[in-house]
Amino acid sequence: MILEKNVTLIALFAALIAVLGLVPQIMLGFGVPITAQSLGVMLCGTVLGAKRGGLAVLLFVVLVAIGLPLLSGGRGGLGVFSAPSAGFVIGFPVAAFVTGLITEKVRTGNLAIVAGSAAIVGGVVVLYAFGIVGFSIIADKTLGEATVVMGAFIPGDIIKAIIAGALTAALYKARPASVLSRA
Amino acid sequence: MPQSELIEISIRDMGFAVEGRDILAGISFTTSARRIGVVGRNGSGKSTLARLLAGLLTPTKGKVRLGGIDPDADRAKAIETVGVLFQNPDHQIIFPTVIEELAFGLTQLGTAKNKAIEMAQALLSDFGKSHWEEAATHTLSQGQKHLLCLMSVLLMKPKLIILDEPFAGLDLPTKLQLGRYLSKFEGQLLHISHDPLDIAGYDEVIWIDGGALKVHGPAEETLAVYLDAMTEQGASDDIADLSR
Amino acid sequence: MISLTSPVRTRAHDWPAGGKLLALCIASIALFKFSTPLAQLSAISITLVLYALGGRTFLSVGAKRLWVLWPFVVVVGVWHLVTGEIAEGAVILMRMVTSVALANFVTMTTRLTDMMDVLRWLMTPLRLFRIDTSAIEISIAMVIRLVPTLILKGRQIVDAWRARSKSRTNWRVVLPLAIMAIDDADHMAAALKARGGLVARSGRK
């Protein structure tokens, strides 16, 4: 049943990314209204690993592209890829892949810390690289200027990555067989 | 058994619509009974009524008052007054360990963390479940999860507990055991069920049918009328209707 | 789950999806190549006419979908007002609004099934390499089916929080939701297997 389990997990995590963006009352706390959607992208990497996590997020992006309102706030369609945040959406699958790769390969130490660090590298560093390049192209600004604008959101996303680490460890306790990154 | 102070549940001309469609309309009743049952077919609007009474939904029309407060507008007072037990404990348990799940409601009421843990431990001991303290919530059986949800609600010492089909899918012994714990609750219970056996012996029963209040009366008589109607509908074939 | 295709039918709904996508690519490249204010003004006017031809409802839905861009407009607008580069700022903003509006136009006038046909065609090279693309199509259908159900479960967990707390939820509600997703995946896999499974077809008919 491995093929079926893989496909259904990928489908469900793709759906999870959508749900984290579409249920407005799912907040992350700490007083700041940070949206939870990119947390879903990080979790795809930390829980499903590089290949399957990347596929889950790619599936999500394809669904957005073909016209489904799955981005937070009910956004979707091809317009998303011409918007200032297009770089982020394109970078999502890569972010999940890198996050998953680190989580899979680094086996020493506490899972929460490894997963959290993987989420910072993949979900923040790599993702923002894509996002900043995208923004600089669309807004016709230098990379430095784009970083200044987008940089405001980085602290919130680092908190998100730490949360992803904690959640991954908790998931491993509850459903170890489904944390494929550590299978 | 000492009688705790009973609160008045008052609904006046209440309606709830979603995207133009009426789920509930023209609901009015007042009661201070200790044990209230709410019956009706699936899809009649009973669960929506439960959520409106708990203040988790805002009525489109009319008023909901529990002991004089508006549970939707005054959330702080609402969580002190009313507790809710939903149908599926898997959709209700938020935390990975029993003690965390129990302590959550108390800390949200303003109790300090260590005091909340003490109170949770005391309740576990009362229920003879002290060994549950560090248990992982996902390892509990369905019946145990239901009991955990009940304990979490009881810790907050509500005046009224709303139960939305809390026994769905449980085996008979588990139902009877949970029912026993429930019957010990000194406050008021509003128990929603489609099965009249769950609420036999209650004080009053409200029958919701197609989004409207059909009957509100003493338990025994109302249940008899309800049972007759259900049996009659059992002889028909409305299961074929796509709108159901 | 409802897609972003407009229920108001326009003539553009009948144009072939592949053609619209190709035109969109060309238009997007052109928008970046011709960056004079005049060119951008013409482009945005043509786009406006395109939407207007779809009728009043179509135009207003299209406008609403552009509203999400307002923070960007403010940031870039203020930036260019401060640096004094008004013309450049106007070009950037017009180009962005036009490219998003044109892309949205394709989305609004193309049915999901037509998009999936294009996707299937784009995946032809994969099939040449013996990769089974039907699993991809099944996954798309699965996600579409699963999102509303998972949203319902998300709302129920939020309700369970709100029933015991007056404050907004925090990150801890994500855990039970993720666990439910994992459990649902297990159940679906078993149900799929019981119905014959997802046999990797790789060449077999």
Please answer yes or no on whether C175 and B108 come within 8 Å at the CB atom: no
Please answer yes or no on whether B91 and C161 come within 8 Å at the CB atom: no
State residue C58 phi and psi, 5-degree precision.
-60, -45
Q: How many CB pairs under 8 A join A and C?
A: 209
Provide the pLDDT for residue A32.
66
Dist. CA A27–CA A34, nearest whole Å = 7
pTM: 0.89
Maximum CA extent, chain C: 67
Dist. CA B195–CA B205, nearest whole Å = 12
Minimum distance, in Å, between the CA of residue C39 and any CA atom of chain A:
17
For residue C69, what is the nearest residue in chain A, using CA coordinates? A83
Per-residue pLDDT of chain B (244 residues; tens, 9 = 90+): 445 689 999 999 999 999 889 999 999 999 999 999 999 988 889 999 999 999 999 999 999 999 999 999 999 999 999 999 998 998 999 999 999 999 999 999 999 999 999 999 999 999 999 999 999 998 899 899 999 999 999 999 999 999 999 888 888 898 888 889 998 999 999 999 888 888 888 999 999 999 999 999 999 999 999 999 999 988 888 888 776 5
Looking at residues A39-50, what average pLDDT do you find?
Answer: 97
Please answer yes or no on whether B90 and C176 come within 8 Å at the CB atom: yes
Minimum distance, in Å, between the CA of residue A167 and any CA atom of chain C:
6
Dist. CA B15–CA B62, nearest whole Å = 6
Q: To 5 degrees, how large is the angle CA C183–CA A64–CA C56?
A: 130
CA separation (Å) from A82 to A138, C104, C118?
8, 9, 19
Looking at residues C113-142, what average pLDDT do you find?
Answer: 89
- Tell me: pLDDT of A61 over 90: yes
For an interface test with A, which of C117, C131, C139 has the most A Cβ atoms less than 10 Å from its Cβ? C139
Looking at residues C134-141, what average pLDDT do you find?
Answer: 88
In single-letter form, the type of residue at position B79 comes to I
Q: Does A19 touch chain C (CB under 8 A)?
A: yes
Please answer yes or no on whether A149 and C75 come within 8 Å at the CB atom: yes
Dist. CA C110–CA C93, nearest whole Å = 26
For an interface test with C, which of B92, B109, B164 has the most C Cβ atoms less than 10 Å from its Cβ? B92
Provide the pLDDT for residue C203.
37
Please answer yes or no on whether A25 and C101 come within 8 Å at the CB atom: no
Q: pLDDT tens for residues A150-174?
A: 998 999 999 999 999 999 999 999 9
* Centroid of chain to Cα C32: 22
- B/e letters for B105-134, b = 16+ CB within 10 Å, e = fewer, are bbbbbebeeeebbebbeebbeeeebeebee
Provide the pLDDT for residue B4.
63
- By Cβ distance, the residue of B56, B76, B138 closest to C163 is B56
Q: pLDDT tens for residues C154-181?
A: 999 999 999 999 998 999 999 999 999 9
**Residue of A37, A42, A47, A15 lying closest to A96 (CA atoms):** A42
- Tell me: pLDDT of C129 over 70: yes
| C182 neighbourhood in chain A, CB within 8 Å | 9, 12, 171, 175, 178
Structural contact between residues B56 and B83, judged by C-beta atoms closer than 8 angstroms: no
Structural contact between residues B60 and B17, judged by C-beta atoms closer than 8 angstroms: yes
Provide the pLDDT for residue B1.
40
| A170 neighbourhood in chain B, CB within 8 Å | 96
Residues in chain A whose Cβ is within 8 Å of chain B: 170, 173-175
Residues in chain B whose Cβ is within 8 Å of chain C: 51, 54, 56, 75-76, 78-79, 83-84, 86, 88, 90-96, 104-105, 108, 138, 152-153, 156
- Tell me: pLDDT of A17 over 60: yes
Please answer yes or no on whether C107 and A20 come within 8 Å at the CB atom: no
In single-letter form, the type of residue at position A168 comes to T
Q: pLDDT tens for residues B138-170?
A: 889 989 999 999 999 999 999 999 999 988 888
Minimum distance, in Å, between the CA of residue C25 and any CA atom of chain B:
38
Dist. CA A162–CA B1, nearest whole Å = 50
C205 — pLDDT class (breaks 50, 70, 90): very low
For an interface test with A, which of C1, C2, C3, C4 has the most A Cβ atoms less than 10 Å from its Cβ? C4
- Give me the interface pTM, i.e. the ipTM: 0.92
- Per-residue DSSP letter, C169: P
For an interface test with C, which of A1, A9, A20, A26 has the most C Cβ atoms less than 10 Å from its Cβ? A26
Provide the pLDDT for residue C195.
84
- Please name every residue paired with B29 in a beta bridge, in sequence order, or none if there are none: B11
Q: pLDDT tens for residues C19-52?
A: 999 999 999 999 999 989 999 999 999 999 999 9
Dihedral sign computed on CA atoms, order B49, B53, B59, B65 = positive
Q: pLDDT tens for residues B113-147?
A: 999 999 999 999 999 999 999 999 988 998 999 99
CB-count burial class (<10 Å; 0-12, 13-18, 19+) for C121? exposed
Looking at residues C132-151, what average pLDDT do you find?
Answer: 90
Range 33-92 of A in CB contact (< 8 A) with C: 36, 39, 43, 47, 59-60, 62-63, 65-70, 73, 75-84
- By Cβ distance, the residue of C92, C119, C151 closest to A139 is C92
Chains that touch B (3 or more CB pairs under 8 A): A, C
**Residue of C168, C157, C179 lying closest to A167 (CA atoms):** C179
- By Cβ distance, the residue of B75, B91, B138 closest to C160 is B91
CB-count burial class (<10 Å; 0-12, 13-18, 19+) for A46? buried
Looking at residues C183-202, what average pLDDT do you find?
Answer: 81
Q: Coil, strand or helix: which one is B96?
A: coil
Please answer yes or no on whether C112 and A66 come within 8 Å at the CB atom: yes
H helix intervals, chain C = 17-33, 37-52, 56-66, 70-83, 86-108, 112-122, 124-128, 134-162, 174-194
- Tell me: pLDDT of C1 over 80: no
For residue C156, what is the nearest residue in chain B, using CA coordinates? B91
Structural contact between residues B130 and B158, judged by C-beta atoms closer than 8 angstroms: no
Looking at residues A36-42, what average pLDDT do you find?
Answer: 95
C202 — pLDDT class (breaks 50, 70, 90): very low
Q: pLDDT tens for residues A84-117?
A: 999 999 999 999 999 999 999 999 999 999 999 9
For residue C154, what is the nearest residue in chain A, using CA coordinates? A23
| C164 neighbourhood in chain B, CB within 8 Å | 79, 83, 104-105, 108, 152-153, 156
Q: To 5 degrees, how large is the angle CA B75–CA B81–CA B85?
A: 90
**Residue of A8, A35, A25, A59 lying closest to C151 (CA atoms):** A25
Please answer yes or no on whether C176 and B93 come within 8 Å at the CB atom: yes
For an interface test with B, which of C164, C166, C168, C186 has the most B Cβ atoms less than 10 Å from its Cβ? C164
- Tell me: pLDDT of C201 over 60: no
- By Cβ distance, the residue of A66, A149, A163 closest to C115 is A66
- By Cβ distance, the residue of C153, C157, C164 closest to B156 is C164
